Amino acid sequence: MQWSKPDAPTEQIARDQEECRNLAWREANVRGSLYHPVAPVFAPGSMGRGAMIWPSGAYVDPFGYQIMEENRLSQFCMESKGYSLESKK
């Protein structure tokens, strides 16, 4: 798949794609920091011991969430500039 826009030169497509990737990366980092704790927390165990753990759950996925969010935001950015995804010819 590749981004396509009628009458857009290859250089412009590359610049727009780079700009959208950078904007998406920044936005996903800001959003991700809202969902991820800054540090691990102490979780007591049933035997009186405990451990330092990173919380987990629906919003705590340091890699998958950010990658999906970056892709979604980047795609939105490109589509808002008038591009569409097409099969490589």
Expressed as residue numbers, the domain containing 67 is 2-35+52-86
Instruction: Judge whether 65 lies within some domain.
Output: yes
**What is the pTM assigned to this prediction?**
0.64
d(CA 84, CA 78): 8
Establish if 46 belongs to a structural domain. Answer: no
Examine residue 41 and state whether it is found in any structural domain, yes or no.
no
In a domain, 47, yes or no: no
pLDDT in tens, 28-37: 777 656 655 5
> What is the total count of domains within the chain?
1
In a domain? residue 17:
yes
- In this prediction, residues 55-79 reach a mean pLDDT of 74
Write down the pLDDT at residue 12: 96
Is 40 among the domain residues? no
At residue 71, the pLDDT reads 87
> pLDDT tens-digit profile of 41-64?
666 666 666 666 655 555 455 556
DSSP state of 73: H
Who wins on pLDDT, 9 or 54? 9
Examine residue 81 and state whether it is found in any structural domain, yes or no: yes
Q: Is residue 45 one of the residues assigned to a domain?
A: no
81 close to 3: Cβ distance less than 8 angstroms: no
